[in-house]
Structure 1
Amino acid sequence: MPRDTLTREQIVRTAIDLLDAEGLDGLNMRALGKRLGSAATAVYWHVGSKDNLITLAGDQVWDEIALPDLDAVGWRAAATSMATGLHAMLGRHPWLVQSFGSFVMFGPGKARYDDHNLAVYEAGGFTGAQADQAAGAVFTFVLGNALSPAAEASLTRRLGRDGGDVEERLRDTMARATEIAAGFPRLRARLDTTAATDYAAAPDNSFEFGLRALLDGMEARPAGRPGF
């Protein structure tokens, strides 16, 4: 695709698809240009640099999160919707979780989410810095829950690039981890239950449990006080 027929929107959308498939390590301008049917130089002309492209792609996916209507639902339901929407988005784009450690993510998509998120906690009685603290606590919780799937996706891709049977290598790795865990009493007891296939696996509905507990604590703050 010639440079004058490319658009930044096409490039960013294609970059998101490539990142979803290959992760941060798999994104390069040559591979992206091949998907677009264009030279890498044309891609650079539109987005400036690979780092800038990652920032643009990272910002765009925030628009996938629906913003609840605060006139129609209470702050607690809205906070739950915002958190679960973020969790689902990070699950679709695990490379974004990795990018937080290397890139400063900003742009209108993230700003749209952040602004509405503050409005949610303000509706819950948090004011000023307390609204930031409440929103930040929930964001950190969501991000923590997204780390393990993102790491697993990255590991699977890396093992695949190294060659060999990915599933077998993952089984071998987990078998070694399980053998170590069996030497510790609480982990061994957990491994003996039918609910746990490996000690690193979280029980079902752990995300929902943790989010509910976090919001319960915020909702139960002392009456008459906007924060803790």
Structure 2
Amino acid sequence: MRTGGRAATFGLEDVVRAGVAIGLVDLTVQGVADALGVTPAAVYRHVPTRSALERLVGEAVLDGLVLVDHPEDAVVAHLVDFACQLREFILRHPGSAQYFMRLFPNGPSGVRLMEHQMAALGRRGFEPSAAMVLSSGIATLAIGAAFAEQERAVAHLDTQATEAAWAAVAGSEVIRTAAAEIPPHTPEDYFVLILTAAAEGLVAQVPAGRPFTLPAPGEDR
């Protein structure tokens, strides 16, 4: 930390660059100040609050997410691929799931991603309102599932907690028998299964060719 002498010259871009290097999980104003060799007060001259810093850094991180649309994919396959791209990005950028959950979209990077996905669904015949609902629904499920996967990976590092969890499962014959019947699979396999089912259900509820409407109570789509 800088404690005296002439103040260092730095700008907002330097603050954001330092924040990205630190990462969203460990991001603090103090950490950015330390990285830049200045005081927290100097950082606050560029970003008024911790939340503002998180938004700027979060948007800079999201700027690296470039969604790819495969035009030959039908709508369900497209939505699952979109979810898988989000999952891969989140797993590579710890803290991005929390940012998505709290603040998305809250800047140009988030808007770019939403518009890209809405345009991809528009090319598949969906009205803008329906495309927004589908995009948001799949994104919400994908982000939550990826975040849970990250949390489980962290929990597995805690040997004591892992042993306790396995002991609880081993004590239930019902769970133990059911688990033995499930074929070997990866976290990605499970993710694709859940998101495929969700995408099929959402598309059935939000069909192409008409604006989104909520069904009346008891009404079938």
TM-score interval, normalised by the smaller of the two chains: 0.7 to 0.9
Q: 1:111 to 1:101 in 2, by over 3 A?
A: closer
The correspondence of residues 29-40 of structure 1 with structure 2, limited to 5 A, is 29-40=29-40
Tell me: CA distance 1:180–1:111, structure 2 relative to 1, closer, same or farther (3 Å).
same
Give 1:110 deviation, angstroms: 0.2
* Structure-2 residue corresponding to 1:96: 96
Q: Which structure 1 segments of 5+ residues have no match?
A: 157-166
Structure 2 counterparts to residues 206-221 of structure 1, below 5 A: 206-217=190-201
Given residue 88 of structure 2, which amino acid in structure 1 is its aligned partner?
A
Separation in structure 2 between the aligned mates of residue 224 and residue 48 of structure 1, nearest angstrom: 44
Q: Distance in 1 between matches of 2:153 and 2:21?
A: 15
8 Å CA contact 1:67–1:82 kept in 2: the answer is yes
What percent of counterpart residues are identical?
24
Alignment of 1:44-63 (within 5 A): 44-63=44-63
- Which protein is richer in helix relative to its size? 1
Structure-1-length-normalised TM-score: 0.72
Q: How does 1:116-195 map to 2 (within 5 A)?
A: 116-152=116-152, 167=157, 170-190=158-178, 192=180
Q: CA deviation at 1:67?
A: 3.4
Return the alpha-carbon distance in structure 1 between the equivalents of residues 112 and 56 of structure 2.
Answer: 14
The answer to whether 1:19 aligns with 2:23 is: yes
Displacement of 1:155: 5.9
List gaps (5 residues or longer) in structure 2. 213-220
Q: Is the 8 A contact 2:86 2:142 kept in 1?
A: yes
* Contact 1:15 1:32 (8 Å CA) reproduced: yes
RMSD: 3.5
Task: Measure the CA separation in 2 of the matches of 1:33 and 1:3.
Answer: 12
Instruction: Count how many residue pairs are aligned between Structure 1 and Structure 2.
Output: 207
| Aligned counterparts of 1:186 and 1:59: Cα–Cα separation in 2 | 46
Kindly indicate whether structure 1 or structure 2 has the higher relative contact order, using CA contacts under 8 Å at least 6 residues apart. Answer: 2
